[in-house]
Structure 1
Amino acid sequence: MSRLVKERWLELAGSNGQPLLIRIIDVARTRHLRLSLGRDGPRLTKPRWVPLYEAAAFAEHKREWLEAVISEQAQRRPPIDWPQGLPAGAPANLPLRGELIPLHLADAPRPSVVLRGDGLHLALPPRLPAQRQRIAAGQLRTFLEAQMRADVAAMMPAYVERLGRAPTHLRIRPLRSLWGSLSARDHLSLDLALVMAAPAALEYVLVHELAHLFERNHGPDFWALVARLLPDFRDRQQLLRSEGERVKSALALALAR
Structure 2
Amino acid sequence: MTDYELIRSKRRSLELRVLEDGRVQVRAPQQTPLRMVQAFVASRSQWIAAQQERQAQRPRQRWHDGAAFVLRGKTLSLDVSEGATRVFVSGGYLTVRVSDSDQESSVKTAVQNWLRKQARAAFEDSIERQFDWFAAEGFSRPVLRVKSMRTRWGSLSARGYINLNLALLHYPPKALDYVVMHELCHLIHMNHGPGFHALMDARMPDWRQRKNLLDQPCYQP
Q: Same fold (TM over 0.5)?
A: yes
- Offset, 1:38: 4.2
Query: Structure 2, unaligned stretches of length 5 or more?
Result: 1-14, 17-25, 27-36
Q: What is the aligned counterpart of 2:69 among 94, 98, 101?
A: 94
Partner of 1:125: 99
Partner of 2:131: 160
Residue aligned with 1:231, SS: coil
Question: For 2:129 and 2:101, how far apart are their aligned partners in 1?
Answer: 46
Letter in 2 for 1:82: R
Residue aligned with 1:137, SS: helix
Partner of 1:178: 152
Q: What is the aligned counterpart of 1:27 among 37, 44, 47?
A: 44
The structure-2 alpha-carbon separation of the partners of 1:111 and 1:163, relative to structure 1 and needing over 3 Å to count, comes to same
Q: Does the CA-based 8 Å contact 1:194-1:202 persist in structure 2?
A: yes
- Cα root mean square deviation, aligned: 3.0
Question: For 1:107 and 1:25, how far apart are their aligned partners in 2?
Answer: 52
The 5 A counterparts of 1:26-175 are 26-27=43-44, 37-40=50-53, 79=59, 82=62, 86=64, 90-108=65-83, 110-126=84-100, 129=103, 132-133=104-105, 135-164=106-135, 165-175=139-149
1:131-183 deviation per Cα after TM superposition (whole angstroms, max 9, x unaligned): x50x3333212221222223223322232111113433101121011110111
Letter in 2 for 1:162: W
Query: Structure 1, unaligned stretches of length 5 or more?
Result: 8-23, 43-72, 253-257
The structure-2 alpha-carbon separation of the partners of 1:127 and 1:197, relative to structure 1 and needing over 3 Å to count, comes to closer
Question: For 2:186 and 2:80, how far apart are their aligned partners in 1?
Answer: 42
Q: Does the CA-based 8 Å contact 2:60-2:220 persist in structure 1?
A: no
Q: Does the CA-based 8 Å contact 1:167-1:188 persist in structure 2?
A: no
The structure-2 alpha-carbon separation of the partners of 1:80 and 1:35, relative to structure 1 and needing over 3 Å to count, comes to closer
- Offset, 1:6: 6.5
- Offset, 1:79: 4.6
Q: Does the CA-based 8 Å contact 1:227-1:233 persist in structure 2?
A: yes
Identity of aligned residues (%): 28
The structure-2 alpha-carbon separation of the partners of 1:231 and 1:91, relative to structure 1 and needing over 3 Å to count, comes to same
Query: How many residues were matched structurally?
Result: 184
Question: Which TM-score applies when normalising by structure 1?
Answer: 0.62
- Offset, 1:39: 5.0
Partner of 1:200: 174
Letter in 1 for 2:166: L
Letter in 2 for 1:191: N
Question: For 1:166 and 1:180, how far apart are their aligned partners in 2?
Answer: 18
Deviation beyond 3 Å, 4+ runs, structure 1: 2-7, 33-39, 78-81
Letter in 2 for 1:226: M
- Offset, 1:222: 1.1
- Offset, 1:127: 7.1
Question: Which TM-score applies when normalising by structure 2?
Answer: 0.71
